[in-house]
Amino acid sequence: MVREAGFVDVELGEFIDVFSGSPHESDAREFETRGVTFRARKPG
Amino acid sequence: MVVPALDTEALACAVQAKYTEVATAPERGFHFHTGRPLAQMLAYPEAWIAAVPRAAVERFAGVGNPFALGPLPAGAVVLDVGSGAGFDAQHAARQVGLRGRVIGVDMTPAMLAVARAAAADAGLTWLEFREGRAEQLPLTDASTDVVISNGVINLCPDKAAVYRELLRVLKPGGRLQIADVMVQLPVPDEARAEIDLWTG
């Protein structure tokens, strides 16, 4: 989706189990939901 | 079986209501982590946390650390999409310095009020906050060097529109540094239409 919008050099950073220990944990685990960082660049 | 479509305006209202709660009663406890424990879990340096007024720290509700992707250049113009109480925007302001500029955009008036007060408290005169939505940002074309965001785009039903908008406001060569939620398994249509699952 990021590339489709026109961004380039998309790079994923770290994945984080950010809902671990929260009341939302079971929903998050059901769909393997993680926090993630990424960067990308606008061409030019 | 007919699956009800997601009511996007109801979702926006629910998100705004949830983050109004975070802004007005951060001690209440939510379905997601918040505040100093969350910032520590995400490995924000203690010195950074200590530099931010408590009101902004307590209302922090990110899902990652966009600064782990690299420092922001001194003098840069930075946009924080969904800036909340301004925790990340304050870090950005300190990184770009007096010659830079940071604009936080958020759709929740209660968060904007906290963010503005905390920025004034910290003396960050080059940090400002504007009301707006990620799909229709109150910025001109090609006006921004870096866009940061933390745990916000996942709450927007039309993510493609958000990324098109981020592309519009970035200067050529400008970059995104984003922390967000990624769902790695398919979500059934019935679950997608459940607003409670979006807002946590």
Residue of B98, B103, B54 whose CA lies nearest to B79: B103
Which pLDDT tens digit goes with each residue over A1-44? 999 999 999 999 989 888 888 777 777 667 678 899 999 999 99
In this prediction the pTM is 0.91
Whole domain around residue A25: which residue ranges?
Answer: 8-41
pLDDT for res B169: 98
Residues of B in contact with A29 (CB under 8 A): none
What does the DSSP 8-state code read for residue B75?
Answer: T
pLDDT for res B188: 64
Q: Let me know if residue A1 belongs to a domain.
A: no
Residues of A in contact with B180 (CB under 8 A): 35-36, 38
**Which tokens belong to A22?**
């929260």
Number of compact structural domains in chain A: 1
Q: What are phi and psi for residue A36, nearest 5 degrees? A: -145, 150
SS3 content of chain A, % helix, strand, coil (to 5): 15, 40, 45
| Gyration radius (Cα) of chain B, Å | 16
Total residue count of chain B as it appears in this document: 200
pLDDT for res B45: 97
CA–CA distance, A43 with A7 (Å, rounded to integer): 7
CA–CA distance, B167 with B190 (Å, rounded to integer): 31
Q: Let me know if residue A28 belongs to a domain.
A: yes
Nearest Cα residue in chain A from B192: A31
Is A31 within 8 Å of B185 when comparing Cβ atoms? yes
Kindly indicate whether the ipTM for this predicted assembly is greater than 0.95, answering yes or no.
no
Q: What are phi and psi for residue A18, nearest 5 degrees? A: -75, -15
To the nearest whole angstrom, how far is the Cα of B166 from the nearest Cα of chain A?
A: 9
Torsion B45-B109-B105-B125 (CA) sign = negative
Q: Let me know if residue A2 belongs to a domain.
A: no
Is B174 within 8 Å of A7 when comparing Cβ atoms? no
pLDDT for res B4: 60
Q: Let me know if residue A3 belongs to a domain.
A: no
CA dihedral B38, B42, B47, B51 (to 10 degrees): -50
Residues of B in contact with A43 (CB under 8 A): 172-173
CA angle A31, A32, A34 (to 5 degrees): 125
Q: What is the mean pLDDT of each run of 10 residues along chain B (200 residues)?
A: 70 92 92 93 97 98 96 98 98 98 98 98 98 97 98 93 98 98 73 62
Distance (Å) of CA B175 to CA A44, B164, B194 = 11, 13, 33
CB distance B16 to B49 below 8 Å:
no
